[in-house]
Structure 1
Amino acid sequence: MDAHDVRQRQPTGMATWLVPVLFWLYYLTPLLRPGHENPIALWLLSVLPPAAALAILPLRRRFPTGVALTMGGLLFLSPGVIGAAFVTQASLARRTRSAAMVLLSGLWLIAAKLLELLVGPASGEWSGAHWVESTIAVTGLVIATLVGWLVRSRESESQSRVDADQARHDAELARIEQAKLAERERIAREMHDVLAHRLSLVSMHAGVLAFRDDLGPEETRETARLIQRNARQSLDELRMVLSSLRGADAPPEPPQPTVAELPVLIADLGSDQQIELSLGVEPDRVPARTSRTAYRIVQEALTNARKHAPGAPVVVSVTGAPGDTLKVQVSNPLADLALPDRTGSGFGLLGVTERAASVGGSASYGAIDGGFTVTASLPWEDEA
């Protein structure tokens, strides 16, 4: 169910009933004067058609054309139906896209009113009162049509704004999802390079083992051949599975940097920004996968600081212990010392959370105590 259907199912407002009821009461006032020739017939014509008009008025949403036709017939019988006719015309103009249908409905109701004044049950000699009633009917129906069109235009404009906001929201979600997929692809490529490098070493050492005669009996040599064959097959299968992620023409990349390369990274970036490194762990003891992830998180956080707070000092802290977690924290003041760089996609820090999650960790970032801090907690399995 869309917003338009919801609006159409809302309860009828007070004004919707107030207009037809007031007009009905107005046309009941002549009944209070005595001396009518046929008071019973006059009472029936003054009460039954307006009551029937009020009864079918809620159906105008589902059957706008049918209600308009019926309303014209009831208006021919009694002038007290004119208020309900106004509401019906306004509703038809609001909900019907065909302008011709709206105009035909208005003409039909005007014709019914004029026929009621000329040849209807309560018709009489044309007088000034007839001119007043016909003017009220024509003016009221024109106003009702214009009000219906105005309400429809405002609702259409409001719905357009809602649709535009939803489209922008969907586009933003698509950009976020695209950024996540791009980061996962980068992670997968790095995993491919690392595993390919390690499997190549396994294959090489197994090949050496297979051709050394001084290491033991024939069983050792056969086992080494199996290691060599299986390692090579594993490498070929891995390249085949992940070739779509990195592209067939992409050259092999060098082994990915780890926490041990953080001083080199900071030295390269330190010419543009003051960066302080606090390395509270032994890089060689950090598991390789966790170490690579920590390096990339620091790299992305430093890039973010350089873009959005150029010239501001940055503090990088890496702490932790085996069997616990490796905690990475990068913080910088919010005060800009130069014009920030706004050319990025805005999803760099999203890659930090993706990388942390890829190794079973977590990451967060935001403004804290006048500064911007990126924090990541990565699992550090005990070597024992």
Structure 2
Amino acid sequence: MRKPIAPVIGVAPLVASLVYGEIQAGTGAGGLILDISVGALAFVLVAALFRWPVPIAVVLAALAAVSATATPPATLATLVVAKERRIAVACQVATAGIIGHAIRGLWRPLPGLPLGWWLVLDVVAHAGLLGWGLLIRARQELIDSLRERARRAEAEQGRRVAEARAAERTALAREMHDVLAHRLSLVATYAGALEYRQDIDPPRLAQAAGVIREGVHQALDELREVISVLREDTEEPARLGLPDLAALVAETRRTGTRIDFQDHTSGAGSLPLSTGRTGYRIVQEGLTNARKHAAGQPVRVTVAGAPGEGLRIDIRNPVGATTTVPGTGTGLVGLTERVRLTGGQLDHELTSSGEFRLHASLPWPV
């Protein structure tokens, strides 16, 4: 509830000046007592104006019909109602004020001012009060609306931060899967060979142990790289792309996997870095799945494309027996999301010939 102290203090001098004017004009004792009484009553009613604005405004309009000392409180009441209530109610209160002052103009006209001009000034003054109150109300509503928008923007910012954190966790999980699944599957393949080939000679045993150690170090290095990229909020490094596929295939071949790799791309230098990295991850995931779920089976990898034609990657391998290497099944899900982010499409299926086919189409602008 707003405190009416300031309006009361502002109205009091106006009432006192009007009473002094009545004294100077030579008003009789009866009229002077009436003006003082009405002014005092109006002064008291202003104190309750902000609690009951409409009833008090109507009473003050009635008092304004009796004495000019009630005019300042009545005009203040019209302004308050225009600010606090609906426009229909404010118009009714302003009409009551116009009628009250019109009655006083008929009963106690001002010397030298015709009644017609008095009525014009009456209507214009109350219309101005009505417009002023509506302007104050609109400004307050605008301020409240801006505050609400600021509050919602802050809440929306909090939601976006939460979504960004969730997206970062998803990206971290996807990158960890892409990096670790390939490296650790190589380690698991060599470790499995050491477990079941107990008659292996020391030189080959040392070679296999060296490959395992190198694979673990490479996995740790790539994992450290992924975490540093996400922490620094920078784009992922683009050192892996189509030119690195030959090294990836050679590394996988050393595990004993037979790979038929065909590269029919041209103009690889114009391939966007993100597309090249996505293509590398597709081949890496395809070879990892083939090694995990179709160990010992041959894999055919075909990469083709050119600027303006798009990049096409096709990986096929016969469906083999399951292995002891665990899998969560989330690799293709994350890979599909990665491909969609680049504007491409990823499909995987079991063909009628008993092969598992992984096919991707990526955009390659001119």
Structure number, greater radius of gyration: 2
Question: TM range, normalised to the smaller chain?
Answer: 0.3 to 0.5
TM-score by length of 1: 0.45
